């Protein structure tokens, strides 16, 4: 099997350097433990909002100004508020 570490009396362990590097972990990063089919998955939860820029690609109708964004939000909010009144 792979890498080993010991569990302290406080339930703490050190993640081996190779695993930290593989997951891109840095001090202060969060780790997610997922239980699946009798196994434990360890995942890094170290994405920041800035890491998500561009994930959806460019806007379908091109970039918008702040005024256009504000107008779109206002229109959506007004439409949402009117749904129950029709």
Within-domain flag for 59 = yes
Within-domain flag for 78 = yes
Within-domain flag for 79 = yes
Within-domain flag for 73 = yes
Q: Residues of the chain with pLDDT > 70: what percent?
A: 92
* Domain, as residue range, for 58: 50-85
Quickly state the pLDDT bin for 9 (edges 50, 70, 90): very high
* Cβ atoms 26, 46 nearer than 8 A: yes
- Cα–Cα dist 31/34, whole Å: 10
pLDDT in tens, 24-61: 888 888 898 999 999 999 888 876 777 777 778 777 88
Range 11-26 average pLDDT: 91
Count structural domains, the chain. Answer: 1
Answer yes or no: is pLDDT of 1 > 90.
Answer: no
Give the pTM: 0.49
Question: Across all residues in the chain, what is the average pLDDT?
Answer: 85
Within-domain flag for 37 = no
């Amino acid at each position: 099997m792979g890498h080993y570490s010991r569990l302290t009396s406080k339930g703490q362990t050190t993640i081996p350097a190779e695993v930290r590097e593989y997951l891109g972990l840095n001090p202060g990063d969060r780790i997610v433990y997922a239980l699946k089919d009798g196994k434990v998955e360890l995942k890094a939860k170290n994405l920041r909002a800035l890491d998500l820029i561009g994930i959806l690609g460019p806007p379908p109708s091109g970039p918008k100004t702040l005024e256009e964004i504000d107008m779109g939000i206002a229109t959506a909010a007004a439409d949402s508020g009117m749904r129950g009144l029709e």
